């Protein structure tokens, strides 16, 4: 684990790209990004779309061949055309929604999936083309202004009966929580971003197809899904399959998603990539989230809510069976942590606290934000899980990124294929497991309470569950905290069971020089085995 830096321009671009998150979440959609627009100025000059009846053979292998051929050509710049789509402001865009009566796949007998598109305009200016696949044949799904509902001043800007050159993305609906209501299940919108929900969840963190050069001194690159092919769902089907074409300056790609809704909504993802250029850092299965504050860092936030975050920790399940829990931070400057792994079982960003009292936000309901786990399919070999934490003072900023960086370098002319499963939902800890989990991490001024601070930082880690929870207080003699620290020192430590509770508490005061980046890890051992997850943390003494 170590600290990293990046250029200010790269960070600014990220904040600009995520600027639409708060608005689109309020609409029940997802984040999207500013880019160039393809639009018509009047219906009479609208670009012609392929006839709806035109069909072409389609398969994942054919899409892969097209991506490979495209990778041998330079990336084409996006076209820029003036038109009514460029005139839609924030206030206009929020008055536009898809007409649910025109949802695609609604005509399927006993359908379990319907599709609604996102309108282009405002920040959402690069067209995405959708195709329907039936029995190995695809045809373009055409959309026009008749597919959307426009309210108030939006009606004066948008012409009637006008075809659209594409859409900004789409969402799939499914009877996730009740059999008589088609709930929003998953949404793809903006670059290669997408989100999904488990049963009872509310939108929170996002995933991406790829993250290129995130947190490096070179500019971050945002590949985008330019086209999607969605297999028409069969009658009463319990899953849906879709495909996507990816393109950026540095690569092309073909993606396949098999989506199965449920208590935890699962996606099996396969990516086939072709590199146009050398890529300094290839981020696979990237996750993007928000962490503003919790018990360990809330002192600088004058807010009635105890915690504000979409995720509170990174969890890694190692090939050895060890589990690492890294509470998230909102650092004083850009920070990175690197976890070297070989064939990890999983990694993910988790929201462990599921009690409303932990958040007290009746609008955002952070207790319902999903966790997201990445499980490799096949042997991923050697690499690192990288965690990037960006300072933030607003909860509308997504400031957390986690992804896998394979050891093999992405070189021009090379190819890369990888598969994994994404699980979205509560993902609670295994109550029957032998390992105790990190229940809470708190921090504050070090030293004795009520006495002037001695300049140290106090960390309080509570462990719950596992075999250890059933041990009496006297068993502390057979339990030992194993603590490691880099770039600092442990001034004092204590370990005991909280009386009357099945919770064990580790307390340590940490000393460090000003501006030091301190890496900490700790677990509890006893009776010849590891008793807890490994707790890890990065403290920057600002």
Task: For residues 162 and 148, give the distance between their C-alpha atoms in angstroms, rounded to a whole number.
Answer: 11
| 8-40+55-425: CATH, from 2.70.98.10, 1.20.1440.230, 2.102.10.10, 2.60.200.20 | 2.70.98.10
Task: For residues 291 and 287, give the distance between their C-alpha atoms in angstroms, rounded to a whole number.
Answer: 13
Q: Is the pLDDT of residue 295 over 80?
A: yes
The two tokens of residue 115 are: 């599709």
Beta bridge partners of 377: 419
Q: Is the pLDDT of residue 20 over 70?
A: no
Work out the angle at residue 322's Cα, subtended by the Cα atoms of residues 320 and 326, and round it to the nearest 5 degrees: 135
Q: What are phi and psi of 202, to 5 degrees?
A: -125, 150
CB atoms within 10 A of CB 97: 17
Q: Is the pLDDT of residue 31 over 80?
A: no
Q: Identify the residue whose tokens are 């589990």.
A: 323
The two tokens of residue 226 are: 């330019």
Task: For residues 477 and 463, give the distance between their C-alpha atoms in angstroms, rounded to a whole number.
Answer: 17
Please tell me what DSSP assigns to residue 66.
H
DSSP strands (E only) in 12-113: 56-57, 96-98
The 10s digit of each residue's pLDDT in 395-420 is 999 999 999 999 999 999 999 999 99
| Residue 13's pLDDT band (cuts 50, 70, 90) | very low
Q: Is the pLDDT of residue 36 over 50?
A: no
The two tokens of residue 154 are: 């939006």
3-state secondary structure 444-485: EECCCCCCCCCCCEEEEEEEECCHHHHCCHHHHHHEEEEEEE
The 10s digit of each residue's pLDDT in 209-262 is 999 999 999 999 999 999 999 999 999 999 999 999 999 999 999 999 999 999
Task: Cite the residue boundaries of each domain of the chain with CATH code 2.70.98.10.
Answer: 8-40+55-425
Residues contacting 333, CB < 8 A, separation 6+: 5, 391, 540, 542
Q: What percent of the chain has pLDDT over 70?
A: 89
Q: What is the value of pTM for the model shown?
A: 0.90
| Average pLDDT score over the chain | 90
| Residue 18's pLDDT band (cuts 50, 70, 90) | low
Q: What percent of the chain has pLDDT over 90?
A: 82
The 10s digit of each residue's pLDDT in 517-530 is 999 999 999 999 99
Cβ-contact 447, 467 below 8 angstroms? no
Q: Is the pLDDT of residue 456 over 60?
A: yes
The 10s digit of each residue's pLDDT in 43-102 is 333 334 445 558 999 999 999 999 999 999 999 887 655 688 988 889 999 999 999 999
Beta bridge partners of 503: 464
Q: What are phi and psi of 135, to 5 degrees?
A: 50, 45
Task: For residues 33 and 18, give the distance between their C-alpha atoms in angstroms, rounded to a whole number.
Answer: 7
End-to-end distance of the chain based on CA atoms, in angstroms? 19
Q: Is the pLDDT of residue 3 over 60?
A: no
Please tell me what DSSP assigns to residue 359.
T
Task: For residues 311 and 315, give the distance between their C-alpha atoms in angstroms, rounded to a whole number.
Answer: 11
Cα 87 from chain centroid? 31
CB atoms within 10 A of CB 449: 7
Q: Give the CA-trace dihedral at 262, 265, 268, 269, to 10 degrees.
A: 150
| Alpha-carbon distances, residue 425 vs 9, 253, 379, 431 (angstroms) | 34, 28, 25, 17
Task: For residues 171 and 133, give the distance between their C-alpha atoms in angstroms, rounded to a whole number.
Answer: 17
CATH class of the domain comprising 437-540: mainly beta
pLDDT for position 454: 85
Cβ-contact 196, 267 below 8 angstroms? yes
The 10s digit of each residue's pLDDT in 417-455 is 999 999 999 999 998 899 999 999 999 999 988 777 789
The 10s digit of each residue's pLDDT in 482-507 is 999 999 999 999 999 999 999 999 99
Task: Cite the residue boundaries of each domain of the chain with CATH code 2.60.40.10.
Answer: 437-540
What is the chain's alpha carbon radius of gyration, rounded to the nearest angstrom?
Answer: 25
């Amino acid at each position: 684990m170590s600290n990293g830096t990046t250029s200010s321009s790269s960070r600014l671009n990220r904040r600009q790209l995520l600027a639409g998150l708060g608005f689109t979440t309020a609409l029940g959609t997802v984040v999207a990004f500013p880019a160039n627009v393809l639009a018509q100025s009047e219906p009479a000059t609208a670009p012609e779309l392929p006839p709806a009846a035109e069909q072409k053979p389609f398969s994942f292998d054919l899409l892969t061949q097209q991506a490979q051929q495209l990778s041998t050509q330079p990336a084409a710049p996006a076209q820029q055309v003036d038109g009514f789509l460029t005139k839609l402001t924030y206030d206009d865009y929020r008055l536009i929604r898809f007409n649910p009566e025109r949802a695609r796949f609604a005509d399927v007998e006993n359908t379990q999936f319907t599709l609604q598109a996102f309108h282009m305009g405002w920040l959402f200016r690069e067209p995405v083309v959708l195709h329907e696949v039936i029995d190995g044949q695809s045809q373009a799904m055409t959309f026009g202004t008749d597919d959307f509902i426009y309210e108030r001043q939006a009606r004066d800007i948008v012409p009637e009966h006008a075809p659209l050159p594409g859409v900004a993305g789409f969402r799939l609906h499914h009877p996730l929580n009740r059999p008589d209501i088609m709930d929003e299940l998953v949404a793809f919108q903006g670059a290669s971003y997408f989100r999904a929900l488990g049963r009872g969840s509310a939108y929170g963190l996002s995933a991406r197809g790829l993250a290129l050069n995130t947190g490096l001194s070179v500019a971050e690159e945002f590949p985008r899904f330019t086209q999607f092919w969605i297999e028409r769902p069969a009658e009463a089907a319990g899953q849906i399959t879709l495909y996507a074409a990816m393109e950026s300056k540095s690569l092309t790609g073909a993606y396949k998603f098999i989506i199965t809704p449920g208590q935890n909504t699962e996606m099996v993802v396969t990516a086939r990539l072709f590199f146009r250029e050398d890529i300094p850092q290839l981020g696979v299965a990237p996750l993007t989230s928000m962490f503003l504050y919790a018990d360990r860092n809330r002192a600088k936030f004058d807010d009635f809510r105890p915690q504000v975050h979409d995720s509170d920790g990174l969890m890694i399940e190692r090939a050895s069976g060890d589990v690492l829990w890294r509470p998230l931070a909102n650092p004083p400057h850009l920070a990175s942590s690197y976890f070297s792994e070989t064939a990890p079982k999983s990694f993910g960003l988790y929201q462990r606290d599921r009690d409303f009292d932990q958040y007290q936000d009746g609008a955002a309901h952070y207790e319902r934000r999903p966790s997201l786990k990445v499980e490799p399919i096949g042997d991923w070999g050697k690499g690192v899980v990288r965690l990037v934490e960006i300072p933030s003072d607003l909860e509308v900023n997504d400031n957390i990124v986690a992804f896998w960086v394979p050891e093999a370098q992405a070189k021009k002319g090379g190819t890369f294929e990888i598969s994994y499963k994404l699980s979205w939902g509560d993902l609670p800890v295994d109550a029957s497991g032998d390992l105790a989990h990190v229940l809470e991490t708190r921090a504050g001024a070090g030293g004795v309470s009520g006495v002037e601070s001695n300049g140290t930082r106090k960390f309080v880690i509570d462990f719950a569950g596992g075999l250890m929870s059933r041990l009496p207080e006297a068993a502390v003699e057979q339990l030992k905290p194993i603590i490691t620290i880099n770039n600092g020192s442990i001034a004092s430590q204590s370990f005991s069971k909280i009386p009357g509770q099945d919770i064990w508490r580790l307390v340590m005061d940490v000393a460090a020089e000003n501006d030091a980046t301190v890496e900490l890890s700790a677990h509890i051992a006893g009776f010849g085995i590891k008793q807890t997850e490994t707790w890890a943390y990065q403290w920057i003494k600002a």
